[in-house]
Amino acid sequence: MSIITTPGIYDLPEAQYHADPCPAPSLSNSVARILLDESPMHAHFAHPRLNPEKVETEVTEVMRMGTAFHSILLRKGAAVVEVKFGDYKKDVAKESRDAAVESGMVPLLSKNYDAVHEMSRRALIQMKQHPDLEGFFAPGQSEAVIAWQEGKDWCRGMVDRLPDDLRLPAFDLKGTMLSASPLKWDRRLVDAYRTQDRFYNRGLRAIEGRDRPPMRFVIVEMKEPHAVSVLTPAPSLQAIAAEDVDRAIQIWSGCMRSGNWPGYDYMAHVEAPGWLLRDHEEQQLRDEALENAL
């Protein structure tokens, strides 16, 4: 039985959102990325409603740290609890971890529990001083679930921070074990997250009746010194991303109507890249020089 029956903004637990609470299997941004970057077959395999037998990826301590960081900064989500051990070698430590998970909490070893709270403290100091993050602290909803329809099909998303003021952008938090430098994250935003802003903007426009400013991505280093950077897609990236979102929705709709989820049903023609052509030309020049020298 679906939890969501009409388009709108909802307050739902994360587990219910990821299980897909819409009246029919819905398209999320993460599934849209799989549709575009891999194939409909892979999207079908990854979807919780289309493939309920899919084995979930094992959750690591680093992944739990990311979840805990979200919960602390957003003041929403599962409670973070300390597992008072240095590692999980002892059975009692594993039992403590597993019991916390079973109760819907986020368990962390003592050293990581302290590290996440210190990271969150430092990140909040920087975020409150950042001129582009004032809206993050404005009245609003954390982990807001949005659901809307594209024709007969449903789409959904979970916005980390959604201000009540429609003139403010939505915000997305991302923790990284690497550098948060914009010089390093610009390529990652393009490769991994470029559709997220336009996908969510499309849903919010359908629900709220107007466009918000482009999403702000808040990148936080999960290692010292816990620097914070803020990125937002420029108009050129928004334009390409909007086309990608249109294409993903069209593919999804076609697959849902036909029941056909093809894989790589085509032959790819691989062109010689520019660097290979240059290397080949240089090799020919070297060969000619060698022949003339003999």
Query: What's the CATH code of the domain at 215?
Result: 3.90.320.10
In-domain check, residue 223: yes
Residue 6 is predicted with a pLDDT of 96
Q: Please give the C-alpha separations between residue 79 and each of 19, 119, 145, in angstroms, as whole numbers.
A: 20, 17, 19
Residue 22 lies in a domain: yes
Note the pLDDT of residue 289.
85
Q: What is the token pair recorded at 243?
A: 């086309």
Query: Is residue 197 situated within a structural domain?
Result: yes
The tokens describing 90, both together, are: 């002892």
Distance in angstroms (rounded) separating the CA atoms of residues 194 and 231: 11
Q: Is residue 195 part of a domain?
A: yes
Range of the domain at 19: 8-57+130-258
User: What's the Cα-to-Cα distance from 254 to each of 3, 40, 172, 292, rounded to whole Å?
Assistant: 25, 10, 30, 62
pLDDT at 78: 87
| Helix%, strand%, coil% for the chain, nearest 5 | 50, 15, 35
Query: How many domains are there within the chain?
Result: 1
pLDDT in tens, 52-64: 888 778 889 999 9
**3-state secondary structure (DSSP) of residue 115:** helix
Task: Return the DSSP state at 116.
Answer: H
Q: Which helix (H) or strand (E) holds 217?
A: strand 216-221
In a domain, 39, yes or no: yes
CA–CA gap between residue 155 and residue 12 (Å, rounded):
16
pLDDT of residue 33: 97
Q: Is residue 184 part of a domain?
A: yes
Counting as low any pLDDT under 50, the low residues of the chain are none
Q: Does residue 143 belong to any structural domain of this protein?
A: yes
CB 20 within 8 A of CB 29: no
In a domain, 28, yes or no: yes
Contact assessment for residue 173 and residue 191, using Cβ atoms and an 8 Å cutoff: no
